[in-house]
Amino acid sequence: MLFVWREAFAGLRRNLTMSIAMVITTAISLGLLGAGLLAVRTIDRTEELYYSLIAVQVALDEPTSAGDPDCSGPVCTGLRDELEANPLVAGVEYESRDAAFERFQRIYAGQSILQLVRPQSLPATLRVTMADPLRGTEIVQQFTGRPGVRNVVDQRSTVQDLFSFLGSVRNATFGLAIVQALAALLLISNTIQLSAFTRRTEVGIMRLVGATRWYTQVPFLIEAVVTGLVGAVLATGGLVLGKLFFLDRLLSGRLLANTIPPVGMSDVLLYVGPVLVIVGAVIATLTGYVTLRLYVRT
């Protein structure tokens, strides 16, 4: 056992520059993978945050908005009852034209757009909270064009842009991670071959005196796995630094504060870190094993 470890570390020392290149490439690849995982996690959280806030808005047409301010006429109550009976719907709230105008004034206080808007230009709405926010389109389809309805808007489609932005960030990091992973794989494979070549006399003697596969091959595998693990640790460290000095500032800045939830240290250390360690070790082991099988005769 001791022998195997000693040989593995001797191997890493012997090809020091290769080992360093291997570790750096692996770290970058795993770091990108980690960034991608953090992006996925952030997207999930952001969606959760928004889905609890967003709703489907059924805007009423001009005659209903103007003639039935407290939703007591047959058209408005008919729509409301039907929505409430729908199993997709969690709740329905009525907002009259005047209430909408008040909210509008509140949101855009002090801005010039206020001068242009009259209560008459805002519709009364039935604000529908969905039991499942992802199925808002079904409500849109059912109620568009109904008597008394001006239009139906699923607010989810308006936040979709944000999600698709986050999604492309995630895809880009995963794409880069794969390219880097390929480079890391080739480097690991190459280094094992180099290492096996440097040690061919030794391995030859080992085989002659009856050393098992464990003794002849495991040192090379350990070399690969140590590389993977060190790479994973460095990648996690890099993500911690990235979080502290880049993400934290970005997400607490004026532009994105309260738009995207912050990334927690526990996300980096307890979720992404262990994933990277496992992925790094598994990929390095597989690469090492395949390389030994294909290129190194024992």
Partner 1 sequence: MIRLENVTKVYPTSTRPALDDVSVEVERGEFVFLIGPSGSGKSTLLRLLLREDVPNEGNVWVANWNVGRLASRRVPRLRQRMGVVFQDFRLLPNKTVAENVAFALEVIGKPRHTIRTVVPEVLDLVNLAGKADRMPSELSGGEAQRVAIARAFVNRPLVLLADEPTGNLDPETSTGIMTLLERINRTGTTVVMATHDRQIVDSMRRRVVELSSGKLARDDSRGVYGTGR
> What residues make contact with partner 1 under the rule CB under 8 A?
3, 201-202, 204-213, 215-216
Judged by beta carbon, residue 210 or residue 253, the one nearer partner 1 is: 210
Half-sphere exposure of 120 (CA within 13 A, CB side): 1
Contacts of 257 (CB under 8 A, 6+ apart): 251
Q: Minimal distance in Å, beta carbon 38 to partner 1?
A: 45
User: Given the DSSP bridges, would you call strands 56-60 and 89-95 parallel, antiparallel or unpaired?
Assistant: unpaired
The interaxial angle of helices 213-242 and 2-14, nearest 10 deg, is 60
Compute the least distance from the CB of residue 15 to partner 1, in Å: 15
**Smallest separation, CB 45 to partner 1 (Å):** 51
Neighbour-count burial of 113, counting CB atoms closer than 10 A to its CB (0-12 exposed, 13-18 middle, 19+ buried): exposed
Of 208 and 255, nearer to partner 1 (C-beta) is 208
State the nearest-atom distance from the C-beta of 197 to partner 1, in Å. Answer: 16
Instruction: Closer to partner 1 by CB, 182 or 205: give it.
Output: 205
**CB-wise, 3 or 246, nearer to partner 1?**
3
Q: Which is nearer to partner 1, 7 or 267 (CB)?
A: 7
Q: Which of 244, 273, 258 is nearest to 38 (CA)?
A: 273
Nearer to partner 1, 10 or 176 (CB): 10
Query: How far apart are alpha carbons 207 and 298 in whole angstroms?
Result: 7
CB of 207 to partner 1, least distance (A): 7
User: Alpha helices, DSSP H only, in the chain?
Assistant: 2-14, 16-51, 62-67, 74-85, 97-107, 113-116, 136-143, 156-198, 200-208, 213-242, 248-252, 265-266, 273-295
Nearest distance in Å: CB 206, partner 1:
5
For the record, the structure tokens of 281 come out as 């070790």
CA–CA dist 124, 128 (Å, integer): 13
Sheet of 56-60: strands edge to edge?
A: 89-95, 125-130, 56-60, 149-154
Q: Which is nearer to partner 1, 179 or 205 (CB)?
A: 205
CB 186 → partner 1: shortest distance, Å?
29
